[in-house]
A and B are shown apart, each in its own frame.
Chain A
Amino acid sequence: MSGTNHMGKTRYLGFLLSVGFWVSWFLCPLNLWGDVRIGMEGAIEKRENGDRVYLPQGWVNVSVSHFVSESLSLFGDFSAKGGWDTGMKDIPYDVSSSLSGTFRGESFFFGLEGGLRGVRRYDTARQLEAYLSSNVSYTMAETSLFLKPFLQTVLGPTDSTTISLEPGIEKLFGEGWMGALSFRPALTYYTDGSSEVSLEPKLTLDWFPSVPFTASIRGGWTRRLLDNSDVLRESVVGTLEMIWYPSLHTILQLNATIEKVYRALIVTEKGLTLTSELELRVGLPFTKDSWDLVLGGGYEWRIDSGNPQAEDGWFVRVGLEMKL
């Protein structure tokens, strides 16, 4: 029964994703610009359980945009990545498709995006996500108020529906500094009848200087509550993102996150996690900016209350991406 159900979901997923692809494809002639990129990579990953796996994978990204007027823009995106994972019996994939539109006035902005994503990874069994996200904002001089409603349905090992609303304020100050303060309450319903509430205030500081470098620091606090008001998880999170253009045709990106879970219903969830990821993208000479060499690496370190021994994992990847 379960197998039939999964087959149905897979066909449904395939159908919807192919609709997304063909819609994007047929939008191309109407478009001012389209962008198609294909790539392949080889990666070695050491997982937290100690397994060392190899991941040869390939991907295709299609992006189309249609600028109806100065006020209205439409975008379509399709992305598929898949290949092999020597630590899995099944083929891993991550396929997504989305359509979005933005409508802007002098101080008013409205953005709407709908998308589908099918994913299967070593830590995520076959899962389909559908989402609808929006952004409404009003800008006065150098301050902006925004509201981001979000709806997501996940069909997977655990079916769920999440609805959230994120109001916030953004402010531009100094030369190239931008600060944002927001609060995101979310409600998740599971098919077994249970539900969960999460509260997430966060503060973001971005820097956009006049040199080819940008940085973003984010700090947040999250509390997840069960429907009987028991605290499922409480944590503080800090994130640092940097993008730098050190020399010709080279882009370096660094993302680092630190999360301290200090209260949790499941004791092994309490602990400290450090995650960092680095990507170096180098344009290959004599390819007219159409070929990029992608070098990446990541490291994760984790210690939890149930296990005095710290666990870590890492990955290294080398890939090539071509713009068609």
Chain B
Amino acid sequence: MKQGIRSAPLGIVCFFLLLPLVSVFPQGVTPDTVQTWLQTDPITLPFREIAPSILQVFDSASVERLPLELLFDKLKEGVAKKVPPARLKTVLEGEVDRLLKVRAILRDGFGKEVEKDPFFLQGMKVGSLALLSGFPEEGLKPVCSPQIGIEKMVSLVPPLVEMHRIDSLPVQPLAYFVQAVSASTLPSTQYGSFVSLYLKASAGRIPPEETLRIMGDILKTGGGILQIERELARRTRR
């Protein structure tokens, strides 16, 4: 159990590094696909006894019109990690619960048409993982706004989750920062640097509210990573 907790952050980092591979998720997964896999793949042998309850979770997710690809991915991950069969169903139900919450947030933020967006699956995946990592639902809402768009949201959420792990992100200043990011011309490839800049600020005892406000102000006035580093470095040298 302890080992699992210790390896969780590493797993999260690995996931975000492997995120570009999300496009190769199996497409068009149905409960039948899952049933066939459970019956034929030798790796699923210890889980065959609970196969009906697993399929029940997939059926209910299918009724909710959730993308089963993500749930199937979770199932494969659980099987590969040899999660105790008795726990696997709970894990899958937790994933369904998170996916429902994330879809609701995405629909509220981007509109119902979001499900047709090519980035929808990735949006669901990063959103679910954010909630799993303890990122607050309230924090996810400001990131899902039409101004920012789902493509930018997919790039911004992983760094925000990492920042939240380092030091809890207060919701109000986070909303201000996200608004600033959405308005800025900063390329999404540079969002990752927010993590190490935030870490440097945190190590320099700058409170999270202040860090987010400084970063937000800089982005709002047209600045970028260079300016953020300069100003945070000035504050940490006090």
Which residues of A does B touch, CB under 8 Å?
A: 32-33, 35, 37, 61, 63, 65, 67, 70-71, 73, 75, 77, 79, 98, 100, 102, 104-107, 109, 111, 113, 135, 137, 139, 142, 144, 146, 170, 172, 175-176, 178, 206-214, 243, 245, 247-248, 251, 253, 281, 289
Contact = CB atoms under 8 A, between A and B. Distances in A.
Nearest to A108: B221
A245 B226 contact: no
B165 to A, nearest CB: 7
16 contacts: A33-B207, A63-B207, A65-B210, A104-B231, A105-B222, A135-B230, A142-B224, A144-B230, A176-B192, A206-B229, A209-B193, A210-B158, A214-B199, A243-B199, A251-B166, A251-B202
Interface in B132-170: 158-159, 162, 165-168
A139 B224 CA distance: 9
B234 A135 contact: yes
A94 B102 CA distance: 50
The 7 A-B pairs of least Cβ separation, nearest first, read A210-B192, A106-B222, A214-B196, A208-B196, A208-B193, A176-B193, A35-B207
Given A172-B224, A247-B9, A212 B195 contact: yes
Given A104-B227, A213-B196, A175 B189 contact: yes
A63 B196 contact: no
Contact of B199 (A67, A71, A178, A251): A251
B103 to A, nearest CB: 26
A211 B13 contact: yes
Nearest to A64: B210
Interface of B: 6, 9, 13, 16, 158-159, 162, 165-168, 189-193, 195-197, 199-200, 202-203, 205, 207, 209-210, 213-214, 217-218, 220-227, 229-231, 234-235, 238
Given A109-B223, A210-B195, A251-B203, 7 more contacts: A77-B238, A104-B218, A105-B222, A175-B190, A210-B158, A210-B191, A214-B197
A212 B196 contact: yes
A149 B73 CA distance: 57
A73 B193 contact: no
Contact of A106 (B16, B214, B223): B223
A210 B226 CA distance: 15
A139 B226 contact: yes
Contacts of B168: 289
Nearest to A76: B238
B186 to A, nearest CB: 11
